[in-house]
Structure 1
Amino acid sequence: MSKFSELINQDQAVLVDFFADWCGPCKVLAPILKDVKAALGEDVSIIKIDVDKNQALATKYKVRGVPTMLLFKNGKQVWRQSGVLQKDELIAIINSH
């Protein structure tokens, strides 16, 4: 848990993707997140959290469905949404924070 705190406590935006291997929409989101990372480079960190392997973390952030994405800036949650978003939508959200 403390490692997660270190990861989200950065100056740059940190997008956390709560996912599950059995989740169809999560598989759709994975290449979109790769494209977002390629477009934004060092401006964003993208962390994938498997809810089945990290149930305590999923519970802490009240993740009820997957995929759920949370955006952190300096350790504070600034945005959250469940479901799949397109690359341009995600880039606009990250850039707005």
Structure 2
Amino acid sequence: MYDLASQFKDLAQTVDGSIKFGDVMIDSGTQALEIVSTEQPDKVAPFVKYTIKAEMQGDNAVLLLCEEDVALIEDAGCNAVLDKVYWHELKSNSCVITLQSNQVCN
């Protein structure tokens, strides 16, 4: 799971970068994730059997990786730290973004 977490952190930073520095005006986290999926499919390939939720909070991206309705990893792409891991204590119906980027982004 640690390797997957590292790849997810990389994806979150890529999505965050597309919001901040991309050539296209982005209106939502989902749109940013779709652009990255199209332009860099290798970034999302490790997650084909998972659900990824993306949210834009200001100019920051927050991504959540879930397996069915269970949250595994949540990350804001604005920093170098993997923000939240949930795989140690799995909970049903937890696939909801809870991270607030204004608390972890500078």
Normalised TM-score (structure 1): 0.31
Q: Of Structure 1 and Structure 2, which has the larger fraction of its residues in strand?
A: 1
Which structure has more RCO (C-alpha within 8 Å, separation ≥ 6)? Answer: 1
